[in-house]
Amino acid sequence: METIGLVPASRWNNLAKEALYDEAAFDELYDHFFPIIYNVIYVRVKNSAVADDIVGDTFMKMTQSLGSFDPEKASFATWLSRIAMRTLTDYYRWQSHRQNVEWDDVFSPAVEEKDRPEGHLLEKEGRSELLLALDKLSEREQHIIHLKFWGEMSNKEIAETMDMTPSNVGVVLHRAMGQLKKILGERRLL
């Protein structure tokens, strides 16, 4: 049984159908999926105002298309992720370049700020190195890493979102992580 977080995918699928007529079901979906979608989008665009717009458009499209959601074709998480990725693609079509920001601006709610100034500086340098290393990967590799770690999606969900097989996602993810380790190792030797 596929799960998203600790909740079975079937629970989210059922809530999606209920959300058509039940505001509480819609609120539960929104409360759970908003931070996941926001994190995936924010780490890609690196700008909170732009991320807010894209995520807002994503949930507006979700609301407008909720009646067409079919759990036989994909889980709700996959369906919503596809909407988010299409909305992000639409954004990139209208933009000629991506914003450059510090990794601290990108976001990481799971990371607590270090109490000591030198600890904070080391953490910031590490994040900057990671951001630079991620930029050396292909768009596809970056996309898979973002969905996996910021979007908290399984390989199966990523595969459905990107029209790949789960095993192919695993291979690409494994190779990308190897490249990141190599790039970060080379940077530390300099």
User: DSSP assignment of 164-180, as one string?
Assistant: --HHHHHHHHHHHHHHH
Residues 6+ apart with CB under 8 A from 151: 36, 37, 39, 40, 81
What is the rounded radius of gyration, in angstroms, for the C-alpha atoms of the chain? Answer: 18
Domains in the chain and their CATH numbers? Answer: 3-189 (1.10.1740.10)
Give the mean pLDDT of 4-14.
70
What is the 8-class DSSP label of residue 108? -
- pLDDT tens digits, one per residue of 84-137: 988 888 887 766 444 444 444 444 444 444 444 444 444 555 566 767 777 788
Alpha-carbon gap, residue 128 to 64, rounded angstroms: 39
pLDDT at 33 over 80: yes
Alpha-carbon gap, residue 145 to 181, rounded angstroms: 13
Pair of tokens at residue 66:
């909720």
The predicted pLDDT at position 96 comes to 46
The predicted pLDDT at position 114 comes to 46
- pLDDT tens digits, one per residue of 42-87: 888 888 888 888 888 898 888 888 889 888 888 888 899 889 988 8
pLDDT at 182 over 50: yes
Give the mean pLDDT of 3-10.
58
Contacts 24+ apart (CB under 8 A), 140-143: 140/172, 141/172, 141/175, 141/176, 141/179, 142/44, 142/176, 143/44, 143/85
- pLDDT tens digits, one per residue of 133-170: 777 888 888 888 878 777 777 788 888 877 877 777 77
